[in-house]
Amino acid sequence: MREFNEKTLTDAVIARLEGTPDPRLKEVMTSLIRHLHAFVRETKPTPQEWFAGIQFLTETGRMCDDKRQEFILTSDTLGVSMLVDFLNYGKHPGATESTVLGPFFVQGAKEIPIGGTIARAGTPGKPALVLGSVKDVQGRPLAGATVDVWQSGSDGFYDVQKTDGENLRGTLKADGKGEFWFRTVVPQYYPIPTDGPVGRMLKDTGRHPMRPGHLHFMLRAPGYRDLVTHLFTSGDPYLDSDVVFGVKESLVVEWEKVESKEEAARYRLEAPFWRVRYDFVLVREK
């Protein structure tokens, strides 16, 4: 067939996939074409609107580098990242819930000992102590589990968005009882980057760019599924309107203010400081 129309074109494009050797690729591409063509039929974009969409994608790609991922930001703000998370990780009885990775994870963050700090000297913010454990759903400790943690500063930026080196991120190992603790500052709410196409999209659709205060975690142990999750700050004004839809009630934690100088000295902190504990539970690989 050499001539197509708006009714026959979709099937003609899909027919060209007949020789695709990878069945999963063929399935995904077939669905993509059907849905994309259905979207175009429904919205009937003008050539100018079509080109504006092309420009959005082009600018999004140009904003991506080893320190920033504008496509992940696009996925996050459209709810796609959380949908992928729901479909793949799901909810397991007794296990810690997952949430989005976000665009600012960095492989190979500095290793710190248990009790170390991820906050460089002079980092502004309320001094904080984070205690936790890593166990399986039967309550057995996962000794030596890897704990990656990262967060933004009180200025709303992650270290990779600045030029003064690594800060407010680190990697540590749980001890023989699956326990760990480290020092940092209490996370604050902040805006996602708005200087690119995602920021313009949010502005044009009347949305704010704010995320509630949170700590990012990635937890890994041999034989168990990697867990990517957050701990959100209770009482934060953006818990109910997180721009990336990542909040889950089970991940909201209360920071306890500790006035005791003796308790502060025990953890090499100044009083007052803020403390939180969370026990993470991983599920086995399928």
**pLDDT tens column, 19-65:** 999 999 999 999 999 999 999 999 999 999 999 999 999 999 999 98
- The whole-angstrom separation of Cα 156 and Cα 158 is 7
- pLDDT, tens digit (0-9, with 9 covering 90-100), for 199-245: 999 999 999 999 999 999 999 999 999 999 999 999 999 999 999 99
Whether 136 shows a pLDDT value over 80: the answer reads yes
Q: What is the mean pLDDT of residues 66-92?
A: 92
90 or 138, higher pLDDT? 138
Candidates 155, 161, 145; CA nearest to 66 is 161
Whether 253 shows a pLDDT value over 60: the answer reads yes
3-state secondary structure of 150: strand
Quickly tell me which residue has 């496509």 as its tokens. 71
Whether 158 shows a pLDDT value over 60: the answer reads yes
User: Judging by DSSP bridges, how do beta strands 227-233 and 252-253 pair with one another?
Assistant: parallel
Whether 2 shows a pLDDT value over 80: the answer reads no
Instruction: Please report the domains of the chain, with CATH numbers, ordered by start residue.
Output: 9-63 (no CATH), 74-282 (2.60.130.10)
3-state secondary structure of 220: strand
Q: What is the mean pLDDT of residues 99-105?
A: 91
Candidates 169, 187, 67, 173; CA nearest to 119 is 169
- Position 68 scores a pLDDT of 86
Share of the chain above pLDDT 90, in %: 91
Q: What is the pTM of this model?
A: 0.90
- pLDDT, tens digit (0-9, with 9 covering 90-100), for 169-193: 999 999 999 999 999 999 999 999 9
User: Judging by DSSP bridges, how do beta strands 256-258 and 252-253 pair with one another?
Assistant: unpaired
Whether 1 shows a pLDDT value over 70: the answer reads no
